[in-house]
Amino acid sequence: MKRSNEFLIPFIGLKIGKHEFDYHIERSFFDEYGFDEFDECNIQASVLLDKKGTFLELKFKHKGTVTVPCDVTGALFELPIKGSMRLVVQFGDTFNNDHDEILILPQGEYQVDVSQYVYEMIALSIPLKRVSPEGKEQQKLTSKAEKPKKEKKEDKNIETDPRWDTLKQLLTNKK
């Protein structure tokens, strides 16, 4: 898989403090991962890197739209999405990304690749059920038409088992 250098953040030359990196994400970014859940996208992503003495804290945010088919009508529409994520980068003997919020890089590393984390953050913010505003209206109309009318109870004096009546009396007499 071809990796873009755009998402490599060289942290070794940065001063201690906060540094922001902005990205414009388009469909071609997701093609590298084989992700085909939507047709087009227009997403702004930002990574706020807070460099500390012994570790890095990365805060990811994104906001934008993806063009997806409506699950009700089948028509394409722009679905607004947004999300955020936090990642702590620590340094150790070997690379380890087993934990969702902690990345361990080898001691000699001088840059971090954030492309996988940007991809995951955006992919996880796309809902499984995608309904356009027109689809929501259609669902409301359909559910009202299909809703069965409540039948009136004609006989409210349904005979009950006398044992239950006795139990109810015992409960009410205790009060």
Torsion of CA 124, 24, 70, 136, to 10 degrees: 90
For residue 1, the model assigns a pLDDT of 46
pLDDT over threshold 50, residue 130: yes
Listed by start position, the domains of the chain span: 5-127
pLDDT tens digit string along 16-55?
999 999 999 999 898 888 888 888 899 999 999 999 988 9
